[in-house]
Structure 1
Amino acid sequence: MKLRSLLGHSITASLVLASTSTFAAKVTQEQVVEHYADVAHAVYADALITAKALDQSIESFLASPSKASLFEVQQAWLASRVPYQQSEVYRFGNAVVDDWEGQLNAWPLDEGLIDYVSADYQYELGNEGAAANIVANKKLKIGATTLDVEQLTPEAIADLNEVGGSEANVASGYHAIEFLLWGQDLNGTNAGAGERPYTDFVVGEGCTNGNCDRRGEYLRAAADLLIQDLEWMEKQWSADEKGNYREELVNGSAENGLRKMLFGMGSLSLGELAGERMKVALEANSTEDEHDCFSDNTHNSHYYNEQGIYNVYTGLYKREDGTLLSGPSIHDLVAQQDKQAAKEIQKQFDVTRSQVGQLVTSAEKHGQAFDQLIASNNTQGNALVNETIMALVLQTEAIERAAKVVGITNLSPDTADHEF
């Protein structure tokens, strides 16, 4: 799936969601929390489906590496990001998700831990694992510790996360796979993503940059671990499982569940998306701090984070197979209490989603991806990112207003220590 068609998919979803929004006459907090769990399960089920498709594409690619098959597996990775990014709204407020997600989506990473890097590679100061190069070495010496990594299994990769005590030592998850598929993006704030040659995975004659068999083993194991992790989380939200997180959530206080929903929306909107994922990169003009930095997919990553927030507010989610999941929502609760507030809050969501969508338009129609927008000499690009940050701040204020309307006070979304 090309990036342009990903945008088309998101626009189609937006139109469908906007046209099918319901105003239920009598909706309870309990119903809203239960539907929230239903949507979460659907999102993680879709993330698992697309991760399995990615895994199959990786197997096909490794069986017969070529320029065409590398492109296909890259498209499978891009497609897998669509549902996963919509799941991040569940991180905040749900410890079961936040404690787990670091193994799947941690960033930025010191890619020298995993594979070869350029001679001028800039790594995190003090990180003793920044140049470990797991692909090239079956034994690693990090500080005073020697590690045996001859067998690149999912378990071994999981154990290497944050090795040496550094959060930059990300060995697993979407971004480790992204780096293995694209390689470093050496273009700085100029146009272009990573350009890893497919020959980096050709075993035997024709292998470039050495250790092609190990590189393939690493890629395969990382994909297997991704699936294992997503299978676990899908079960945590399944109505068919007993004693899981969903059961705890829906059997608990509905007010507490509603607070988790609103806190998750506000925290992703403000501290994480506006702050960690945009403000940090913009203020430092740092391509290392953009989210999907190897593939230049950051604009889509931001867009689907925003879509995830919108999903929770409206109770609507367009699944990978095209079906629309709908049900009792926070929007319905607000409308029951104050129809005018509901209209105004909905309008702010629409404005913010449109503004975040401009990052996608910039990348796919005007050829300026997020890493170009944050360049120190790109006045218009900086302004676009700043306008998007401010739209997210206003959206967070709308979320706090919605919380007050439905009786949730002192929401205090996470700012991640950013000031806006």
Structure 2
Amino acid sequence: MSQRLVRRSVLGLALGLGLGAVTGVATPAFAQTAAAKASKLDARAVAVGYSELVYANYSDSLGSARDMQKAIAALLAAPSKETLEAARKSWLDAREFYGQTEAFRFYGGPIDDENGPEGQINAWPMDESYVDYVEGKANAGFINDPKFKITKANLAKQNERGGEENIATGWHAIEFLLWGQDLSETGPGDRSFEDYVDGKRANADRRRLYLKVVTELLIDDLASVTKAWAPGQKNFRAQFDKGGVESVRKIIVGLGSLSRGELAGERMEVPLNSQDQEDEHSCFSDNTHRDMVANAMGIQNVWLGQYKRRDGSSLKVASLADLVGAKNAELSGKTSAQIASTVKATEGIQAPFDREIIGGADAPGRKRIQAAVDSATEQSKLLVQAANAIGITKLTLVQP
């Protein structure tokens, strides 16, 4: 999987709420209350609505990535400041949609089961020298190794080989190839378009090929997870829709794990503690602040059963908030408010993120990030209470 936490054992999360602890993602431990069974809005409706939302979000992520692919093709055909800037913008635009899909992780679904492509799509942090030159190492990386054949199969094979920072594929490999190392305290990386011009930089032809191939691989992987959620097919979605309370349990596992383990933990607490740019999620483009917002929005989308599509239309489906509200309206409202607070807190984090993490505990940037950590942590506790309210008494949430 892509982050360090995913390699750690998955722990049953009690969070001081008296819930039973369990180990192992596959444990099908849950219970359904009579009240939940009697509710007009049942677990199946929520599962079906969730599937619709997931498919819409993955479809938008795939569509925006294909737009990025077109912009990258234009850059490779005619490298210039303008085409490089357009490719960068397309990457940033596409990340807005992918970031929201991370609410669909952590329960062994198509994105991150044993054969899932998550680590190939979004692995980080990245050792840049594994792919291309870095400051002081002009000949580093596969791009500068003429013996290495640049193909999708080879890049996939080399991804995370020999170390979790040996990242050869995905969003962040593309990000590095568009921005280069971030050596600035005030802005992102500043790779020159001349890196892609023959005669201007060594191995420009191989760099062009690498960027082309790694983008194609990302498209393939996004297409595979989108297909797994397509309606009317014999796929993961077909089984998920029939899963009832167990599917709802998985949904809450995904939201709670992203809230505490990934968003609050790996993406904010770790860099807060280390104050190291290398622990920043999208460090080359300085887009980490938007990654946080997109993740928080993804959680809110699922909880409320809502999603704003790429074409501007709005999707509304049966929601967890309503299912919980039928049993405990006060708790549902409190959870909705806390999730909204987390979105607002992440929106308050300023760019560049690598400067927000610097300083003492009272530094304004660190306080902004800590507020988001605290809010996301609290919402994870409320999500466990929400699960308990509808009879789901045991969860397997990933912790930091």
TM-score band by shorter chain is 0.7 to 0.9
Cα distance in 2 for residues equivalent to 1:351 and 1:237: 30
Partner of 1:223, secondary structure, is helix
Cα distance in 1 for residues equivalent to 2:334 and 2:129: 48
TM-score, normalisation: structure 1: 0.83
Give the alignment of 1:37-52 within 5 angstroms. 37-52=51-66
Q: Are positions 1:211 and 2:203 aligned together?
A: yes
Q: CA deviation at 1:241?
A: 2.2
Letter of the structure 1 residue corresponding to residue 325 of structure 2: A
Cα distance in 2 for residues equivalent to 1:277 and 1:339: 32
Cα distance in 1 for residues equivalent to 2:60 and 2:396: 31
Partner of 2:272, secondary structure, is helix
Match of 2:375 in 1: 391
Q: Deviations over 1:77-105 (max 9, x none)?
A: 00110111111111111343113200000
Cα distance in 1 for residues equivalent to 2:394 and 2:51: 23
Which residue of 264, 277, 298 maps to 1:274?
A: 264
Q: Are positions 1:197 and 2:192 aligned together?
A: yes
Match of 1:118 in 2: 135
Which residue of 119, 122, 141 maps to 1:133?
A: 141
Partner of 1:26, secondary structure, is coil
Which residue of 83, 107, 127 maps to 1:93?
A: 107
Cα distance in 2 for residues equivalent to 1:346 and 1:233: 28
Cα distance in 1 for residues equivalent to 2:195 and 2:100: 32
Partner of 1:97, secondary structure, is coil
Cα distance in 1 for residues equivalent to 2:355 and 2:167: 25
Letter of the structure 1 residue corresponding to residue 375 of structure 2: A
Which residue of 123, 126, 147 maps to 1:109?
A: 126
Letter of the structure 1 residue corresponding to residue 144 of structure 2: A
Cα distance in 2 for residues equivalent to 1:62 and 1:135: 15
Q: Are positions 1:235 and 2:249 aligned together?
A: no
Gaps of 5+ in 1: 1-24, 122-130, 140-148, 364-368
Give the alignment of 1:120-199 within 5 angstroms. 132-139=140-147, 149-150=148-149, 152-163=150-161, 165-187=162-184, 190-199=185-194
Match of 2:358 in 1: 375
Q: CA deviation at 1:26?
A: 2.7
Letter of the structure 2 residue corresponding to residue 136 of structure 1: N
Contact kept? 2:57, 2:309, Cα under 8 Å: yes
Cα distance in 2 for residues equivalent to 1:415 and 1:65: 44
Match of 2:48 in 1: 34
Match of 1:68 in 2: 82
Cα distance in 2 for residues equivalent to 1:278 and 1:119: 29
Cα distance in 1 for residues equivalent to 2:253 and 2:376: 14
Cα distance in 2 for residues equivalent to 1:313 and 1:265: 8
Cα distance in 1 for residues equivalent to 2:137 and 2:188: 17
Q: Which consecutive segments of 4 or more residues in structure 1 shift more than 6 A?
A: none
Letter of the structure 2 residue corresponding to residue 395 of structure 1: Q
Contact kept? 2:71, 2:90, Cα under 8 Å: yes
Give the alignment of 1:13-32 within 5 angstroms. 26-32=40-46
Cα distance in 2 for residues equivalent to 1:112 and 1:340: 52
Partner of 1:185, secondary structure, is coil
Letter of the structure 2 residue corresponding to residue 97 of structure 1: I
Gaps of 5+ in 2: 1-38
Partner of 2:142, secondary structure, is coil
Cα distance in 1 for residues equivalent to 2:301 and 2:123: 23
Contact kept? 2:121, 2:218, Cα under 8 Å: yes
The higher relative CO (CA closer than 8 Å, separation ≥ 6) is in 2
Identity value in percent: 39
CA RMSD between the two structures: 1.6
Match of 2:23 in 1: none
Cα distance in 1 for residues equivalent to 2:41 and 2:345: 30
Cα distance in 2 for residues equivalent to 1:94 and 1:43: 18
TM-score, normalisation: structure 2: 0.87
Cα distance in 1 for residues equivalent to 2:140 and 2:137: 16
Match of 1:327 in 2: 317
Letter of the structure 1 residue corresponding to residue 241 of structure 2: V
Which residue of 234, 241, 250 maps to 1:260?
A: 250
Cα distance in 1 for residues equivalent to 2:127 and 2:157: 16
Q: CA deviation at 1:115?
A: 0.4
Letter of the structure 2 residue corresponding to residue 110 of structure 1: D
Which residue of 237, 251, 257 maps to 1:246?
A: 237
